[in-house]
Amino acid sequence: MAKPLRILHCFRSPVGGVFRHVRDLAEEQSKAGHEVGILCDSLTGGEHEDHLFDDILPFLALGVVRLPIRRQISLSDASTLWNSYRKIKSLRPDVLHGHGAKGGLLARVLGSILRVNRYRIARLYTAHGGSLHFSRGSLQGLLVHSLERMLEFLTDGLIFICDFERLAYEKKIGKPRTRSVLIYNGISERDFRSIPTRSDSVHFVYIGMLRDLKGPDLFVEAFAKTERRIGRPLSALMIGDGPDRDKYHRMMIERGLGHRIGMLPAMRVQEAFTVSQNIVVPSRAEAMPYIVLEALAAGKTVIASRVGGIPEALGENSAALAKPEDADDLSRVMTEAITEQDWGNRHMPDIETIRQKFSAPVMARDTLQLYQNILGSGDKH
C-alpha cells in the first residue's frame, strides 16, 4: 500500500458547493488513511457553516487554517500569500489541492515556491466554474483567462468536475498543457434517502447563495409569472445567505409578493428539502451544482436553467430544463410541474443512474489515484 499522504485543500469561500465538495473529499481521504487539512477564507460563512466545520473536524488531522481571502484580486493578496505560505510550510503537505480561482492560485503559486526550496509536492487545481464564468470578450475575462493559462506551468493536475467544465476550459483558456482528468462531483450513500415534505410545504423553494449569479431574481420573477399563468396565489421560500439578500427582499415587496415568498437563513439541506417537493435552480452559470444531485437523491423534483453540467445530471433533453436567464421559460416549466399529474416522476432521471455516475467514494478514489500518479512519476513543470 502507498504511504499515507498529507493533503491540504485550499479554497476561498466555505459556503455552497465548493465547501461541500471539499468536505466530502476530506472525509473519504481521511477514511482511506490520509492526513487532511483545509485552508480557506475567514471573512465568509456564518453559524450554519460553523456547524459544517464541526461535522468535518474529526476527519481533519492537519486542522483548519482560516485567513482573510477576498473574492477580487487586490493588494491584500500579498499578505494573504505570505501568511498562507508560512502556514502551509509548517504543515509540510505532500499535496496542495486548490479549488476555485483563488484557491487554485494559492495552491499552485505556493506549491511552486516550496518546490524551489527542494520540497516535493503535488499541485492540483479544480476550477468549480470559477474563472470559467467570465466572458471571453470582457477585459476581466481576458486577464483571468490569461492568468489561468500561465498558471498551467505551475500545475501538475487539472480536475474537471463535469464535461461542460472541460469544454468551457478548452474554449476559453485552451487545451490543457498539463495532465487533466474528468472526475464528476459525487454525493455519499447517506444522501440517497427520500425526504418527504411537511404538511405546511410550499409550492417552490430556492436553496443557495443569494447573489445574482445564482439567479434568485429570476426565481422571484418566474414565480410571479407562474401565478399569472395558473390564475391563483402560490407559495415559495428562498433559503440561503448572501450579499444581495436585501435587494431580493425589496424586489419581492415591490412586486407585492412579500407574503407569498418567505426568506429563511441557510440551513442543512436535508432540512430545507422538507419545505417543498419542487426545487428550483435558476442559475445564470454553474459547473456541476451539488444542490441538483442532493435534491435528486432525496427524491425531489428539480426545475433548473440549462447551464453548466446540469443537463449531464438531469439529461440533455430533460423537460425540467429551462432556457438560461429566461424567467418566462422557467415559469413555463414551474407551471407544468405543479399542474400536470405525476410530472416529477415522469421527468426526473433514474436514481440508480445518479448513484452510479455521481458517487463520493468514486470521486475520492479517482482523485487520490491522480495524487499518487503525480507523486509517483515525480512530475515537474
pLDDT(129) > 90: no
User: Residue 381: its pLDDT value, please?
Assistant: 43
User: Residue 117: its pLDDT value, please?
Assistant: 76
Shared-domain flag, residues 314 and 371: no
User: Residues 335-357: pLDDT tens digits?
Assistant: 999 999 999 999 999 999 999 99
Residue 1: pLDDT band (50, 70, 90) is: low
**Arithmetic mean of pLDDT over the chain:** 94
Rounded average pLDDT over 20-36: 97
User: Residue 70: its pLDDT value, please?
Assistant: 81
Shared-domain flag, residues 170 and 87: yes
Shared-domain flag, residues 172 and 245: no
* Closest alpha carbon to 62 in 85, 32, 107, 94: 94
Question: What's the whole-model pTM score?
Answer: 0.91
End-to-end CA distance of the chain: 27
Tell whether 24 is covered by a domain.
yes
Do 312 and 205 meet the contact criterion of CB atoms below 8 Å apart? no
Sheet with strand 301-305: strands edge to edge: 261-264, 236-239, 204-207, 278-281, 301-305, 321-322
Shared-domain flag, residues 156 and 196: no
Shared-domain flag, residues 151 and 89: yes
Shared-domain flag, residues 265 and 120: no
Do 66 and 42 meet the contact criterion of CB atoms below 8 Å apart? yes
Rounded average pLDDT over 32-45: 95
Rounded average pLDDT over 175-190: 96
User: Residue 134: its pLDDT value, please?
Assistant: 87
DSSP conformational letter for 69? -
Domain count, the chain: 2
Tell whether 313 is covered by a domain.
yes
**Residues present in the chain in total:** 381
Shared-domain flag, residues 146 and 228: no
Domain assignment of residue 169, given as a range: 6-186+359-377
Shared-domain flag, residues 41 and 83: yes
* Closest alpha carbon to 297 in 269, 267, 332, 325: 269
Shared-domain flag, residues 232 and 258: yes
pLDDT(75) > 90: no
What gap in Å lies between CA 262 and CA 58, rounded to an integer?
Answer: 35
Tell whether 1 is covered by a domain.
no
Tell whether 154 is covered by a domain.
yes
C-alpha cell of residue 346: 415522469
Shared-domain flag, residues 213 and 352: yes
Residue 89 sits in a domain whose CATH number is 3.40.50.2000
Tell whether 36 is covered by a domain.
yes
* Closest alpha carbon to 56 in 69, 45, 71, 67: 45
At 193, the amino acid letter reads: R
